[in-house]
Amino acid sequence: MTLQRVLRVTSFFLLVTFILSGCAMKKDIPAVIPVVIKPAPVYIKPKVALVLGGGAARGFAHVGVLRVLEQEKIPIDMIVGTSVGSLIGAIYASDPNSFELEWTSFLLEKDDIFDFSILASATGPVKGDKLEKFVTAKISAKNIEQLKVPFYAVAADLNTGEPVVFSSGPIAKAVRASCSIPGVFTPLSYNNRQLIDGGVLGNIAPEIARQNGANLVIVVSIGKSLQNKETSNIVNITLQAIAIMSNKIDSYKLKEADVLISPEVGDVGTMDFTQKKRCMQAGIDAAQKAMPEIKKLLEAFNTPVNASAKPISGTAN
């Protein structure tokens, strides 16, 4: 074999060896491919607000609503009360026990909170001292900050028309201010202001719940019907006039509600304390009717909300 042929054969074998060794090396090099990493589930925690509206004696319906919410274990992260809603709300916020609330309500009589006085008739025939004493006697905590459930009582400034929201300070003063129906109760002088019933700005205040971080607002409205045949004296005339006004305002405020509970108590007189049991049952019925919607909304908070998964560089063998 000539030298030239030997060199050719040798070069061929070297080339094949080089190619084969290159293929072997290639197998050991990991391929770079995109890997999708899914983020951990992100859940939005519900912050449930219960908004209790005004309506005088019809407020006993709130007691029935609270019973159902408690039985169904619906969380209540805050209570916003206007007028009688502030009274029922404060009692429950101090001790979230619907049984105790029912017992207190059954024992409550008109004379326990309405102290009519001829001497006060120039500014309102009801002084309001009895209401304040009743709250003090029934609630062991003195200040709103000490309540077990965050609580907001809505009143109004008589001189400016501004809403006044109590979120701290004396509970009894807050409830008295929120319940001081103009023309019936003497306005409460407090912190250089003349305070009256928050119902003049609407019997419900879902906007206050939103302003304080609520993302699920349950409104209990007891002013659905304007029917009232008891208009034979100045007190009932005033209450009916305010009910008419508040009803119109509430129709706009309801846009802030996620769930509306409307107990059928519109034909109960605003000063009729003889219909307690019926009002409570109406509250129970209305709350049970609304329960599927409440649970559906709560369940939506258990659905994870994730950012889109983004591919990142990674290696795979």
> Which of the following is catalytic: 197, 221, 246, 250?
197
Give the DSSP letter of residue 106: H
> Which of the following is catalytic: 77, 83, 115, 262?
83
Burial 89-103 (b: 16+ CB within 10 A, else e): bbbbbbbbebeebbe
Q: Is 121 known to be catalytic?
A: no
Question: Residue 69, Cβ neighbours under 10 Å: how many?
Answer: 24
> Torsions phi, psi of 261, nearest 5?
-110, 120
In which element (H, E) is residue 287 found? helix 276-300
Helix axes 84-94, 98-107, angle to 10 degrees: 130
Q: What are the E-state strand segments in the chain?
A: 31-36, 48-52, 78-82, 151-157, 163-166, 188-190, 193-197, 216-220, 259-261, 311-316
Q: Is 83 known to be catalytic?
A: yes
- Positive or negative torsion for Cα 47, 48, 53, 57: negative
| Residues labelled catalytic | 83, 197
